[in-house]
């Protein structure tokens, strides 16, 4: 056995099963360092199914399998009329009509989130002229479908996993984007039938503390958030499809010229050949990239338009334009809410006064206002 081999067996590192990156300092010999740099953060990603294209088996079938027979034009018009009539009087209720328990906000409260659509990016400018890249999020017609109390939620499949070692919290089911009930199955429409709502295209669950519970049929609008607040945004990342190792993992590839034969964007070596003579699980290779759920944390809200329910958020958001994202109050400890936000959600004032239409952050330069202040 060579000296290097002997050293390796003497100073062989323990196999770490946690998230920790093997730092060279753990190895005692300088000779061994280089050989193990390839195997950083391997075990956590091994054999984890990152995405599925089908919904979980306990989900109710959403889209009808059969195609409708041709109904006459008269009948079609009649059915549309019935739909309009059934659902037109579901306007936002006054807070006095909803049975909302008066609850106090405290820093440990987890409020509901909001379902929004990423409609693109915009630039804002601060008062000193600095450019701020903002993502524009359109808060869709969110309505609360139901509240699941902690005792019940803990018994569900996901709830039992979430709260295995934590104190159980409640769950608010929120729907967004009302759609024609004929386009869905009857079982899916029945989810909304109990509250008398038009079936929604998107459904989402938000984990909340019981004091932030809302009754069914409550609308949630952009006013749920405060300008200057930090939010976390969760979305499905852009689907890049099957990608090579350079784009997917940021490998350097090979030289473009100087005689490199067929080695410009390849991965190179995938193992040592000596120790554990095999390819380690989680070895970075080409594969499907994107279409995964990711969070962008601590993004500051720069501007809220109450009339059109639009939020401008500083920074970028996971996912492509016109895709659905979910917005939550941030969990980052230094950027968390210190003062009470609209709790449990925002309600327009009862005396009929219109709220301010466009609320800007204090640091921003408002378009249309004079740029030089005397």
Partner 1 sequence: QFCTNNNAHVVQPRLRIEEIRAKRLSIFDKELKRQQALIPRLEKIEVAYEGLDNETTTLVMNKGVSTPYNCAQHISEHVVKNSVAAEINGEIWDFHRPIPSDCTLKLLCMKPEDQHQASLVNKTFWRSCSFLLGAVVEGSFQDEISVSLHSFPPANVRSGSFVYDVQLSLDDWVPSQSDLRQISASFQKFVRQNHIFQRLDIDSSVALKMFEDNAFKAEQIPHIATKSSSGHTVTVYRVGDHIDISRGPMIASTSLVGRCLLTAVHKLDSRIYRFQGIALPSEIYINHFALGIIEARARKLNPARIPELKSN
The H-or-E segment that residue 32 falls in is: none
**d(C-alpha 231, C-alpha 301), whole Å:** 7
**d(C-alpha 206, C-alpha 174), whole Å:** 8
Q: Does 83 bind partner 1 (CB under 8 A)?
A: yes
The H-or-E segment that residue 1 falls in is: none
Stretch that binds partner 1, among 22-30, 76-84, 115-123, 164-172 (CB under 8 A): 76-84
- Least distance in angstroms from the C-beta of 55 to partner 1: 20
Q: Does 61 bind partner 1 (CB under 8 A)?
A: no
- Least distance in angstroms from the C-beta of 201 to partner 1: 16
Contact in structure between 310 and 224 (CB atoms under 8 Å)? no
Q: Give alpha helix (H) positions in the chain.
A: 3-10, 33-36, 73-87, 150-153, 157-162, 186-193, 245-249
**d(C-alpha 192, C-alpha 194), whole Å:** 6
The residue within the footprint of partner 1, chosen from 68, 74, 101, 351 (CB under 8 A), is 68
- Least distance in angstroms from the C-beta of 141 to partner 1: 20
Stretch that binds partner 1, among 75-83, 117-125, 255-263, 318-326 (CB under 8 A): 75-83
**d(C-alpha 77, C-alpha 59), whole Å:** 32
**Residue 323 backbone dihedrals phi, psi, to 5 degrees:** -110, 160
- Least distance in angstroms from the C-beta of 82 to partner 1: 6
The residue within the footprint of partner 1, chosen from 37, 45, 71, 158 (CB under 8 A), is 71
Could you give the maximum distance between any two Cα atoms of the chain, in Å? Answer: 90
Size of the site for partner 1 (CB under 8 A): 15
The residue within the footprint of partner 1, chosen from 69, 74, 101, 339 (CB under 8 A), is 69
**d(C-alpha 146, C-alpha 153), whole Å:** 12
Q: Does 82 bind partner 1 (CB under 8 A)?
A: yes
The residue within the footprint of partner 1, chosen from 67, 73, 157, 277 (CB under 8 A), is 67
**d(C-alpha 47, C-alpha 45), whole Å:** 6
Q: Does 66 bind partner 1 (CB under 8 A)?
A: yes
- Least distance in angstroms from the C-beta of 84 to partner 1: 12
- Least distance in angstroms from the C-beta of 58 to partner 1: 21
The H-or-E segment that residue 234 falls in is: strand 230-236
Which residues here bind partner 1, judged by CB under 8 A? 64, 66-69, 71, 75, 79, 82-83, 181-182, 185-186, 189
């Amino acid at each position: 056995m060579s000296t290097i081999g002997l050293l390796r067996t003497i100073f062989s590192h323990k196999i770490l099963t946690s998230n920790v990156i093997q730092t060279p300092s753990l190895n005692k010999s300088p000779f061994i360092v280089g050989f193990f740099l390839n195997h950083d953060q391997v075990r956590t990603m091994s054999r984890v199914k990152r995405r599925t294209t089908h919904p979980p088996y306990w989900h109710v079938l959403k889209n009808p399998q059969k195609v409708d027979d041709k109904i006459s034009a008269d009948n079609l018009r009649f059915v549309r009329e019935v739909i309009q009539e059934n659902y037109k009087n579901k306007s936002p209720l006054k807070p006095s009509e909803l049975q909302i328990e008066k609850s106090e906000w405290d820093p440990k409260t987890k409020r509901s989130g909001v379902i929004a659509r990423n409609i693109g990016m915009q630039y804002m400018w601060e008062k000193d002229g600095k450019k701020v890249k903002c993502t524009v999020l359109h808060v869709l017609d969110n309505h609360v479908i139901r509240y699941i109390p902690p005792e019940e939620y803990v018994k569900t499949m996901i709830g039992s996993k979430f709260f295995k070692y934590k104190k159980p919290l409640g769950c608010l089911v929120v729907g967004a984007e009302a759609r024609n009930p004929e386009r869905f199955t009857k079982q899916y429409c029945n989810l909304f039938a109990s509250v008398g709502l038009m079936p929604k295209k998107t459904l989402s669950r938000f984990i909340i503390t019981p004091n932030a519970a809302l009754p069914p049929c409550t609308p949630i609008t952009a006013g749920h958030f405060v300008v200057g607040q930090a939010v976390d945004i969760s979305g499905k990342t852009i689907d890049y499809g099957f990608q090579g190792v350079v784009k997917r993992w940021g490998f350097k590839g090979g030289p473009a010229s100087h005689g490199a034969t067929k080695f410009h964007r390849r991965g190179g070596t995938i193992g040592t050949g000596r120790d554990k003579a095999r390819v380690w699980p989680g070895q970075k290779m080409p594969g499907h990239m994107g279409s995964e759920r990711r969070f962008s944390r601590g993004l500051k809200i720069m501007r809220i338009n109450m009339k059109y329910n639009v939020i401008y958020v500083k920074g970028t958001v996971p996912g492509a334009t016109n895709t659905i994202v979910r917005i939550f109050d941030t969990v980052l400890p230094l950027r968390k809410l210190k003062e009470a936000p609209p709790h449990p959600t925002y309600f327009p004032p009862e005396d009929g006064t219109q709220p301010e239409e466009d609320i800007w952050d204090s640091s921003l330069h408002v378009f249309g206002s004079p740029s030089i202040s005397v």
